[in-house]
Structure 1
Amino acid sequence: MLENAMRKMFKTTSRRIAVPALLTIFLYVIAMFIVFLPHIEQSFISRKKELIRELTETVWSLVENYHERELSGELTRPEAQKRALLRIGTLRYGPEKKDYFWIADMTPRMILHPYRPDIVNKDIEEIQDSGFKTLYFSWKEVVETKGVGYVDYQWQWKDDPNKMTDKQSYIKGFEPWGWIVGTGMYLSDIYAEIDAIRNRFIAISTAILGIVLMLSLYSIRQTMKADRVLMRTLIERNVLNISLKKSKERFRSLLENTSDWIWESDEKGQYTYSSPRVEALLGFSSEEAIHKTIMDFVPIDLKNLYQKTFENLLGGQKPFRGFETTCQKKNGENVVVEHNAVPVFSENGGLLGYRGVTRDITDRKKAMEELKKSRDVLHANLEETVKSLAYAAEKRDPYTAGHQTRVDRLACAIARELGLSDHQIEGLHFAALLHDIGKIALPSEFLSKPTMLSHEEHEIIKCHPQVGYDILKNIHFPWPVAEMVYQHHEYLDGSGYPRNLTDKEILLESKILTVADVVEAISSHRPYRPSLGMNAALEEIRNGRGIRYHAPSVDACLKLIKAENVDLLGLSEIDKGELGPIKNAT
């Protein structure tokens, strides 16, 4: 009778486990193959379409950039178009680096096609795919109606003229030049990738279903065994209770002998439990620590320093880490400790108190202080090294001694006026001190020549930014000092040297350095001429504002000079009384 009842119970239990498991498998199959897999495939195709759209937009932006250079007068239209085609013609992407970009115009002509030179610069009006779709009219219709869009057609597969396949391209018209820019994806490749994803998905799903099925069978079997071991479980429970008691004792022993002071407090921060480690840390026994707070161990003269923070931490009812205080040991010795704690709440959400750990970090703080001192010494050494390099350069050009220091003073003042960070200003400071370091390699007779330099001599002098860059490029500054030095004679309009960089290619620090260098150079004496005066210097940067010189830097410089916020005596060798009124400085 009992055996039949047990058998019936086992069958009922088996059905209760098997039915939900089989239903779960069925729902999983429906969800995966009817809902999720089609969604994943569609999402994959959408991502591919978005990819060719973004790539086409990028190349279109490249064409627009050359058009802007045409409009600025930097390039003629044929030059701009030629450069654009040369650059775009080399672009490849994709796993095999065979996917490309093509360009046609509205004539219609194929202007660029890396794999079909036979149709470049030829009429493509009659070119059809294997489905008799006229490609040009498909492109033209999209461009004229929408400006951008996707087109479907058949074309050779990448660089293989013998293999035709379905292709979808994203095209965008560039109206100023009458161009159509496009790139595409081969649908056969897309479907192959989708098939690979589907096959992997099927394999993984099959494995998961198999595992779920085996787990279900295993669960049924284990459930049937459960009742047989129920009595044994009751016996083992008593053994486990004894083992748990021993584990608690071991945990308590570990807790009381750890190197950190472990404690519990109420909502007011008063200790309700203290591990014995407090005695080694502060000299007080666990009993003496009870009902005290962190602040009771803080020296009287430091309580105001920590009290507000301590109250905010308690009131925040959140975990806190790294709360550092200085505590006074029982013998009067001070020690620096770090408190970390988490709040403990009741079942209804009320704060019961905190459970935390306090550790001695005195040695760590001392080590950090030593590290800070070492860093300060290294920084001071860097400062002295840079000044020594600058001094070495000035020894080659004694007539302009102090030029780099004065440029540094003005450049850093401009940077502060523009709101640059302390880190940026520090990098600019070093670059300013070193901006003429390249002159160390130039002939001294050129630097101190009392007459105007010849063209050849001037060209040699113009090499000093490059030489300075070569000297500094392998020194690992935390800032791009070498590049700032390299660019300090570059102008926004590209008329500077040595690389003819333009606005967007020049570092902000270099733009500031250029303005400071020009003002100091014009307002100071040179071997071949007397000082032209501060008014002439300000007139130069005012006339070049926004053209050669960075407009915000010019405005900041004019403002500083007018308000006399820069030491003019330090900025040049001219007495402030000889400058006369600084007119229209802003």
Structure 2
Amino acid sequence: MLKNVIQNIFKTTSRRIAVPALLTIILYVIAMFILFLPHIEQSFISRKKEMIHELTETVWSLLDNYHERELSGELTRPEAQHRALLRIGNLRYGPEKKDYFWITDMAPRFILHPYRPNIVNKDLKDIRDPSIKSLYLKFNEMVAKKGAGFVDYQWQWKDDPNRISPKLSYIKGFQPWGWIVGTGMYLDDIYAEINAIRNNFMAISTAILGIALMLSIYSIRQSMKADNELMRTAIERKRLNESLKESKERFRSLLENTSDWIWESDEKGRYTYSSPRVEELLGFSSDETMHKTIMDFVPIDLKNLYQETFKNLLGSQKSFKGFETTCQKKNGQHVVVENNAVPVFSKNDGLLGYRGVTRDITDRKMAMEELKKSRDILHANLEETVKSLALAEEKRDPYTAGHQTRVDRLACAIARELGLSDHQIEGLHFAALLHDIGKIALPSEFLSKPTLLSHQEHEIIKCHSKVGYDILKNIHFPWPVAEIVYQHHEYLDGSGYPRNLTDKEILLEAKILTVADIVEAISSHRPYRPSLGMEAALEEIQNGRGIRYHAPSVDACLKLIKDEKMDIS
């Protein structure tokens, strides 16, 4: 009867382990393939739409610039329009540098199309293709109603006139000249990228699912084995408990057969009883341990390490747990043991001694050491991974090679001077190494241009903070690395970019990184200018102290460099 009850209990325990494991796998499949993957695909399409939106806005700003020059009298309207068309007609982007911009007017007619010169400057009535006429009407209707928006249609594939593909464009009207400017993306490209993402994701998810399934099966099997073992142990323990009630001698017999060393001592810790287990643990017989303390088994060179603690534990006359000591076995080997004890008092509350258990924890200590080594290896791998990402960006921009490393050294030195915790400094260290990672997505010709960047080029370069944030935001660092990278060009007065944040909205680590970045950038060579020198760099942060730059960080930086405690060369 007792055996059947215990078996039912442990079978229920196995089910309680198996059911949650299987439900977890099912929920994972639902979350990954029904919720998460469609969300990723939709997010990808949204980013692509946002990209062509921003590119169109950039070209629109270029038209606005020429219009302002027209209004100022610098250029006539035909001159301004001619220059704008020449410049926009040569703009290309995308992996193959074949994506382009086009312009129509409200007549309607095409003013600019790099790959279809046959339809440029032709009136609608002279064009026989009904699809182009319909497209004109779509453009004009969208601009008339909303001023700007997305339009989908069929069009020539880039520079291949023999291939027609579905396309989604963003257009915006330029009212002063009655023009409509736009660019688009080919949906075949988008679907190809989404399929690649989906295939990679499904491969990884399938691998993870397989591992999780195997681990679940293994856990269930081990649980069932453990249940059987526990069942046998429970039955045996029940029998032993029943026999304990019959005889004190049988109780002592049970103690002497346990896996731990059980002992009793007087008030000074000298053993008055020692179970036979001590011989397996230390190599000494029970008789050899009589009237000795645990300190008698500690190596001579380690006695000072434990003596004071042992004395205080006995003096407290309280229970103690987890008192670890290294003991020397009879054969000279060392073993780590854990001592736990409770005090025993007389009827008059006088301390008689202690009853305790000593357990071999050598394997556990070794396992903990291995775990610490594994943690250190993981941390080292994280460090190397981050450095590799930083190096990848520097390979794209060799003129600023070493910039991120120098900024890292200066930023961490400032943080230490300000008294930041080691945890914060470590997060700042990784953010500093990655703060320009977003440049990896920018055109390399902008990064290495030997002359000053144009307004349009500078606006594109400014996107690197947001791109860096997008790259890093889904990596689960134990610090806000992505947000620090996002904010490293923000100033206290709101004049920074990309979000015009002000003092209270900016992280302390980002404020420190900004100061270090400014100093290193001004004092280093750039493709379009030689180094302006350290004096110019320090003058810049002094002039902006408390206005654009974090005052304590500026003061710490000045102190480090003027006291020659920091060299970023």
User: TM-score range with shorter-chain normalisation?
Assistant: 0.5 to 0.7
Q: 1:403 maps to which residue?
A: 403
Q: 1:503 maps to which residue?
A: 503
Shift of 1:367: 1.1
Q: 1:564 maps to which residue?
A: 564
Q: 2:522 maps to which residue?
A: 522
Shift of 1:243: 8.2
Shift of 1:255: 1.9
Q: Is the 8 A contact 2:323 2:340 kept in 1?
A: yes
What fraction of aligned residue pairs are identical, expressed as a percent?
A: 89
Letter in 2 for 1:427: G
Are 1:281 and 2:297 an aligned pair?
A: no
Shift of 1:525: 1.1
Relative distance call for 1:352 and 1:555 in structure 2 (3 A) is farther
**Moved segments of 4+, more than 6 Å:** none
RMSD: 1.8
Letter in 2 for 1:550: H
Quick one: distance in 2 between partners of 1:555 and 1:306? 47
Aligned ranges for residues 291-330 of structure 1 at < 5 Å? 291-330=291-330
Shift of 1:548: 1.6
Q: 1:101 maps to which residue?
A: none
Q: Which has the higher contact order (CA 8 A, sep 6+)?
A: 2
Q: 2:265 maps to which residue?
A: 265
Relative distance call for 1:453 and 1:556 in structure 2 (3 A) is same
Residue ranges of structure 1 left out of the alignment (5+ in a row)? 1-241, 573-586
Q: Is the 8 A contact 2:244 2:251 kept in 1?
A: no
Shift of 1:521: 0.8
Shift of 1:462: 0.7
Q: 1:171 maps to which residue?
A: none
Q: 2:369 maps to which residue?
A: 369
Q: 1:535 maps to which residue?
A: 535
Shift of 1:560: 1.0
Letter in 2 for 1:428: L
Q: 2:393 maps to which residue?
A: 393
SS at match of 1:457: helix
Shift of 1:354: 2.4
Aligned ranges for residues 43-62 of structure 1 at < 5 Å? none
Quick one: distance in 1 between partners of 2:503 and 2:447? 29
Relative distance call for 1:415 and 1:350 in structure 2 (3 A) is farther
Q: Is the 8 A contact 2:244 2:250 kept in 1?
A: no
SS at match of 1:343: strand
Q: Deviation string for 1:413-444 (max 9, x for gaps)?
A: 11111111111111111111111000000011
Quick one: distance in 1 between partners of 2:442 and 2:243? 85
Shift of 1:304: 2.0
SS at match of 2:323: strand
Q: Which has the larger radius of gyration?
A: 1
Q: Is the 8 A contact 2:269 2:354 kept in 1?
A: yes
SS at match of 1:291: coil
Shift of 1:347: 4.1
Q: Is the 8 A contact 2:393 2:436 kept in 1?
A: yes
Relative distance call for 1:551 and 1:274 in structure 2 (3 A) is same
Quick one: distance in 2 between partners of 1:495 and 1:247? 86
Task: Give the TM-score taking structure 1 as reference length.
Answer: 0.54
Q: 1:336 maps to which residue?
A: 336
Quick one: distance in 2 between partners of 1:438 and 1:466? 7
Q: 1:544 maps to which residue?
A: 544
SS at match of 1:312: helix
Residue ranges of structure 2 left out of the alignment (5+ in a row)? 1-241
Relative distance call for 1:544 and 1:315 in structure 2 (3 A) is farther
Q: 2:251 maps to which residue?
A: 251
Quick one: distance in 2 between partners of 1:244 and 1:264? 19
Shift of 1:250: 4.3
Shift of 1:348: 4.2
Shift of 1:538: 1.3
Quick one: distance in 2 between partners of 1:363 and 1:470? 45
Quick one: distance in 2 between partners of 1:556 and 1:247? 77
SS at match of 1:496: coil
Quick one: distance in 1 between partners of 2:318 and 2:545? 55
SS at match of 1:504: helix
Q: 1:358 maps to which residue?
A: 358
Quick one: distance in 1 between partners of 2:466 and 2:387? 20
Relative distance call for 1:457 and 1:312 in structure 2 (3 A) is same
Quick one: distance in 1 between partners of 2:390 and 2:403? 10
Quick one: distance in 1 between partners of 2:484 and 2:349? 59
Quick one: distance in 2 between partners of 1:307 and 1:436? 55
SS at match of 1:407: helix
Are 1:481 and 2:481 an aligned pair?
A: yes
SS at match of 2:530: coil
Relative distance call for 1:561 and 1:347 in structure 2 (3 A) is farther
Q: Deviation string for 1:198-232 (max 9, x for gaps)?
A: xxxxxxxxxxxxxxxxxxxxxxxxxxxxxxxxxxx
